[in-house]
A and B are shown apart, each in its own frame.
Chain A
């Protein structure tokens, strides 16, 4: 029996207080995610239960009980307090998927400081822009990433402390650097967590838009209520489960469902911090007898590409339930997973701003491969017309996905950017920026993005950010960046580039530009293809018409070109 039971029954008289009651929370009381995910689980008698099974590079392996997590997150909290960090300061977690990231995240939250997790593959510029926007006071990182911090620290005056969690003493520390070892640090006596309330800020995740710099999505401690219940009803975690969420906590899935969801339920989870290979992944599932697996379409399609034979070499019979997130899961992947694993991956739809799952395929529900499923109970979802922003009644008609604001995990604002936050709401609906339609049975079907943002491997990349970075390359005069279709990643970044005089459009220059972006922004933002052009299509007012280039890449109709001033 699944946790949700009957979806139809759950829709009747739904109230978020179901989750509040299970969490023992009453309106107006203290609610702190760090405490809920560790101390409370211990108080429920699960102190000795395994919380984290971790495997890393070179055969590294560690395990922690919930009590270990409680004690070590307290150490993190006490240490940060000793540095003078106070309520609502921002602390960046800039680490690979090591235990210090998961446990440190809770430690940060426990003292009422805002956690700002950032993907450790980010380049210097991506890191700096995000720290600068949040005026982050401290960054917790590893030896291997400290060189990136050193390169930006001079232009980051607010960054007071660079905390290295795996210092080996071989090289001297530099200005503002300090070390912290969560094993060696003395356990604080009488540690008290900060009494955050429902609306106290908790996490700041950065996401990209079409224009402007990345936006810091502010979440609050009350998001726990959504994250707990969606984990329970959609991911269907049960007491004896061994859960594996493959997402990196540098992104929202990795915190909402890679830390908060499972640990607030007291569930054992596994983390593998090595690169992707089908063989390694199947070995990991087999070794740890993973029962619930939450992954991403890009990974699933890569596994499909690796073939069925490698699946047969492993005993994966422990798998009980599979789900997917990040970008739409194509029907072929759903059908394939049913064939090789004996169960389909259930697609879930949500985004950084929503904080928790919004549309989904539920355990026990009839699955239509390729569909996004239906709204989570308590979520009012519809499709609105792109011009009137009124709900579309017609079955199958494409419009914008829209949600009625008010669920617990919804973002509260964009950091220092209230104007853009407000622009996300029209006619009383929150618009995530995706187009879809609803079929005759009430299932949602994804169609595409409404804007130019590129969804590559489940991560959003801003064309504006890549174009801005390209302009800093000495050879680039002008550029336009669009999504290009990709079999595995759904979309990848493609750049059309006009060169400055004196530069030769050859392979070595292409490689040089690719590496420039990879190091400056991130591997995700690196153009997978660069096409040299003599001109770029622009409107008469001089704005680059990305939509023309996009249409060309996707083999679509070009549409109205009446404003075009200078085509290729």
Chain B
């Protein structure tokens, strides 16, 4: 769980955070907070699928499920368990 959480956070910071000074946490809203837009959400989904060798069904890839690092982690955990 911790590994997933840290990997997702690191990926979001690396790929989507434009402001170098901005700090985000596991609970920072990503989609509703404007850090990851709806188009870019597809690349985040693809990252999770490639890294964890899973397939995330479209109905589970909702903006709510992708809104924080914690909610993304829970989704990956649910699919992998």
Contacts and interface: CB of A to CB of B under 8 A. Distances in A.
Interface string A434-472: 000000000000000000000011000000000000000
5 contacts: A147-B20, A274-B34, A279-B32, A302-B38, A528-B42
Interface in A144-158: 144-145, 147-148
A528 B46 CA distance: 10
Contact of B19 (A143, A456, A457): A143
A274 B37 contact: no
Q: Which of B21, B29, B46, B64 has the most CB of A within 10 A?
A: B46
A526 B34 contact: no
Interface of B: 15, 18-22, 29-40, 42-43, 46-47, 49-50, 63-64, 67
A273 B40 contact: no
A143 B43 contact: no
B37 A275 contact: yes
Interface string A363-398: 000000000000000000000000000000000000
Contacts of B33: 57, 274-275
Contact of A510 (B31, B38, B46, B63): B46
A530 to B, nearest CB: 9
B39 to A, nearest CB: 4
Nearest to B29: A275
B35 A523 contact: no
Q: How large is the interface on A (under 10, 10 to 19, 20 to 34, 35 or more residues)?
A: 35 or more
Nearest to B47: A511
A277 B64 contact: yes
A235 B42 CA distance: 34
Contacts of B63: 276-277, 302
Contacts of B39: 456-457, 489, 492, 518, 523-524, 526, 528
Nearest to A510: B46
Interface of A: 57, 96, 121, 143-145, 147-148, 170-171, 273-277, 279-280, 302, 456-457, 488-489, 492, 506-508, 510-511, 514-515, 518, 523-524, 526, 528
A523 B34 CA distance: 13
A280 B63 CA distance: 12
A523 B40 contact: yes
A-B residue pairs, 9 tightest by C-beta: A144-B19, A507-B50, A275-B34, A523-B39, A277-B32, A523-B40, A511-B46, A514-B43, A144-B18
Contacts of B34: 57, 96, 273-275
A277 B20 CA distance: 25
Nearest to A298: B38
Nearest to B39: A523
A275 B36 CA distance: 8
A528 B22 CA distance: 27
Q: Which of B21, B30, B34, B49 has the most CB of A within 10 A?
A: B34
A147 B17 CA distance: 12
A273 B43 CA distance: 23
Contacts of B35: 275
A503 to B, nearest CB: 15
Contact of B46 (A171, A276, A507, A524): A507
A143 B21 contact: yes
A276 B38 contact: yes
Nearest to B51: A508
Q: Which of B15, B50, B64 has the most CB of A within 10 A?
A: B50
Nearest to B15: A515
Contacts of B18: 144-145, 147-148
Contacts of A148: 18
Given A279-B32, A508-B50, A524-B39, 19 more contacts: A170-B21, A274-B33, A275-B31, A275-B35, A275-B36, A275-B37, A276-B32, A277-B63, A302-B38, A457-B38, A457-B39, A492-B39, A511-B43, A511-B46, A514-B42, A518-B43, A523-B37, A523-B40, A526-B39
